[in-house]
Homo-oligomer: A and B are copies of this chain.
Amino acid sequence: MERPRHQGMTKNTYMRWRLPLVCLLWEAAMIILFGVFVHFGPEADAHWEEEKHEMNITSDIENDFYFRYPSFQDVHVMIFVGFGFLMTFLKRYGFGAVGFNFLLAAFGIQWALLMQGWFHSFQNGKILIGVENLINADFCVGSVCIAFGAILGKSSPIQLLIMTLFQVTLFAVNEYILLNLLHVKDAGGSMTIHTFGAYFGLTVTRFLYRPNLEQSKDKEGSVYHSDLFAMIGTLYLWMYWPSFNSAISEHGDAQHRAAINTYCSLAACVLTTMAFSSMLQKKGKLDMVHIQNATLAGGVAVGTSAEMMLTPYGSLIVGFICGIVSTVGYVYLTPILESKLHIQDTCGIHNLHGMPGLIGGIVGAITAAAATEDVYGKEGFIKAFDFTGSYKTRTPSMQGGFQAAGIVVSLLMAFAGGTLVGAILKLPVWGDAADENCFEDDIYWEVPEDDESDAYHMHNPDKAASP
Partner of A271, one of B69, B103, B256: B103
Secondary structure at the A interface, as helix, strand, loop or mixed, is helix
A332 at the interface (CB under 8 A from B): no
A63 at the interface (CB under 8 A from B): yes
Q: Are B279 and A20 in contact (CB under 8 A)?
A: yes
A176 at the interface (CB under 8 A from B): no
Q: Are B284 and A46 in contact (CB under 8 A)?
A: no
Q: Are B49 and A228 in contact (CB under 8 A)?
A: no
Considering the complex, give the chain B residue whose CB is closest to the CB of A310.
Answer: B40
Considering the complex, give the chain B residue whose CB is closest to the CB of A307.
Answer: B46
Surface stretch bound by B, among A54-62, A192-200, A409-417: A54-62
Q: Are A452 and B240 in contact (CB under 8 A)?
A: no
Cβ contacts under 8 Å, A134 to chain B:
259-260, 263
A211 at the interface (CB under 8 A from B): no
Given A50-B379, A67-B66, residue A60 in contact with residue B313 (CB < 8 A): no
Interface 0/1 of A432-450, CB less than 8 Å to B: 0000000010101111111
Q: Which of A22-36 contact B (CB under 8 A)?
A: 23-24, 26-28, 30-31, 34-35
A15 at the interface (CB under 8 A from B): yes
Instruction: State A107–B275 Cα separation when bound (angstroms).
Output: 12
Cβ contacts under 8 Å, A291 to chain B:
99, 102
Instruction: State A254–B48 Cα separation when bound (angstroms).
Output: 9
Cβ contacts under 8 Å, A320 to chain B:
27-28, 31
A95 at the interface (CB under 8 A from B): yes
Instruction: State A447–B269 Cα separation when bound (angstroms).
Output: 23
Q: Are A312 and B129 in contact (CB under 8 A)?
A: yes
Q: Are A267 and B109 in contact (CB under 8 A)?
A: yes
Q: Which of A151-200 contact B (CB under 8 A)?
A: 157
Q: Which of A420-467 contact B (CB under 8 A)?
A: 440, 442, 444-461, 463-464, 467
Cβ contacts under 8 Å, A381 to chain B:
46
Cβ contacts under 8 Å, A49 to chain B:
252-253, 377, 379-380, 383
Q: Are B268 and A27 in contact (CB under 8 A)?
A: yes
A364 at the interface (CB under 8 A from B): no
Considering the complex, give the chain B residue whose CB is closest to the CB of A48.
Answer: B253
How far is the CB of A283 from the nearest CB of chain B, in Å? 7
Given A23-B272, A231-B98, A448-B227, residue A130 in contact with residue B260 (CB < 8 A): yes
Q: How many A residues are at the interface, by size bracket?
A: 35 or more
A210 at the interface (CB under 8 A from B): no
Instruction: State A94–B452 Cα separation when bound (angstroms).
Output: 13
Q: Are A107 and B446 in contact (CB under 8 A)?
A: no
Cβ contacts under 8 Å, A219 to chain B:
455, 458
Given A14-B284, A19-B284, A67-B61, residue A271 in contact with residue B46 (CB < 8 A): no
Q: Are B448 and A451 in contact (CB under 8 A)?
A: no
How far is the CB of A40 from the nearest CB of chain B, in Å? 6
Q: Are B279 and A380 in contact (CB under 8 A)?
A: no
A145 at the interface (CB under 8 A from B): no
Surface stretch bound by B, among A73-81, A343-351, A352-360, A398-406: A73-81
Given A46-B381, A232-B232, residue A448 in contact with residue B222 (CB < 8 A): yes
A39 at the interface (CB under 8 A from B): yes
Cβ contacts under 8 Å, A70 to chain B:
69-70, 73
Q: Are A271 and B24 in contact (CB under 8 A)?
A: yes
A264 at the interface (CB under 8 A from B): yes
Q: Are A31 and B467 in contact (CB under 8 A)?
A: no
How far is the CB of A192 from the nearest CB of chain B, in Å? 21
Instruction: State A103–B234 Cα separation when bound (angstroms).
Output: 13
Cβ contacts under 8 Å, A43 to chain B:
252-253, 256
Cβ contacts under 8 Å, A131 to chain B:
256, 259-260
Q: Can you identify 12 A-B contacts, CB atoms within 8 angstroms?
A: A15-B286, A31-B313, A38-B312, A39-B312, A44-B256, A69-B259, A70-B73, A99-B288, A102-B235, A106-B266, A227-B448, A453-B467
Beyond A15-B285, A43-B252, 14 extra complex contacts between A and B, CB < 8 Å: A16-B284, A23-B275, A31-B316, A48-B252, A49-B252, A77-B239, A91-B455, A94-B224, A106-B295, A221-B448, A225-B225, A228-B229, A451-B457, A451-B460
